[in-house]
């Protein structure tokens, strides 16, 4: 079984992927994992590779390609990443949503910064990413048509989110 988990920053994609991995006893990978792997292959730190990747569309394309290849060669895998559903053939494609204020608070706490700073950074990052996704892949990140299940993680705690997903898996 292949599952993709996507969502904007602060929606709980990593928490959800980790919890599903544990409950289903199947591995998960993330776009961040692939990014770190690519940095290591080039003998760069994550920061160095991040700077190298800025303005280099080939890095984004390579991350997407590697996730798709890993999923193709796996019998069971959870793939976590904002665009994973577009590049991975999956049995279930999930998208997580959360109100902006909740996401901002989560990120502020996680990164030890003020909520106001987190809000400004989220807006800047998401506007930049939306343009990049459109330019590189012709993907409108706001279009939810590709997803099988959309869950508001601001309404449910991680355990409830995993139960919703596990219940869904029983009927597909």
Predicted confidence band at 148 (pLDDT cuts at 50, 70, 90)? Answer: very high
Q: Which two structure tokens, joined as six digits, stand for 152?
A: 């508001």
* 48-93 per-position pLDDT tens digit: 888 888 778 899 889 989 999 999 999 999 999 999 999 999 999 9
pTM value is: 0.90
Predicted confidence band at 125 (pLDDT cuts at 50, 70, 90)? Answer: confident
Residue 93 sits in a domain of what CATH number? 3.40.50.300
> Whole domain around residue 10: which residue ranges?
2-169
Query: What's the whole-number average pLDDT of the chain?
Result: 94
Whole-angstrom Cα distance, residue 69 to residue 57? Answer: 19
Long-range contacts of 14-18 (CB under 8 A, 24+ apart): 14/80, 15/158, 16/80, 16/94, 16/96, 16/153, 16/158, 16/161, 16/162, 16/165, 17/78, 17/80
Average pLDDT over residues 102-124: 95
What count of residues does the chain have? 172
Beta bridge partners, 149, equal 94
Question: Which residues does the annotation place in the binding site?
Answer: 7-15
Number of domains in the chain: 1
Question: Which residues does the annotation place in the binding site for ATP?
Answer: 7-15
* 133-142 per-position pLDDT tens digit: 998 899 999 9
């Amino acid at each position: 079984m292949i599952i993709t988990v996507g969502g904007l920053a602060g929606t709980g994609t990593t928490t959800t992927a980790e919890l599903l991995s544990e409950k289903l006893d199947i591995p998960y990978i993330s776009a961040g994992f692939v990014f770190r792997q690519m940095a290591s292959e080039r003998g760069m730190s994550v920061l160095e590779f991040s700077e190298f990747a800025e303005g280099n569309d080939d890095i984004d394309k390579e991350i997407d390609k590697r996730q798709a290849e890993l999923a193709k060669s796996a019998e069971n895998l959870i793939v976590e990443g904002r665009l994973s559903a577009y590049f991975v053939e999956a049995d279930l494609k999930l998208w997580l949503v959360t109100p902006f204020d909740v996401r901002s608070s989560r990120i502020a706490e996680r990164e030890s910064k003020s909520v106001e700073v987190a809000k400004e950074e989220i807006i800047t990052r998401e506007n930049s990413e939306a343009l990049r996704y459109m330019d590189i892949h012709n993907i409108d990140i706001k279009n939810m048509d590709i997803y099988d299940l959309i869950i508001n993680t601001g309404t449910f705690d991680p355990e409830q989110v995993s139960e919703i997903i596990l219940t869904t898996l029983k009927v597909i």
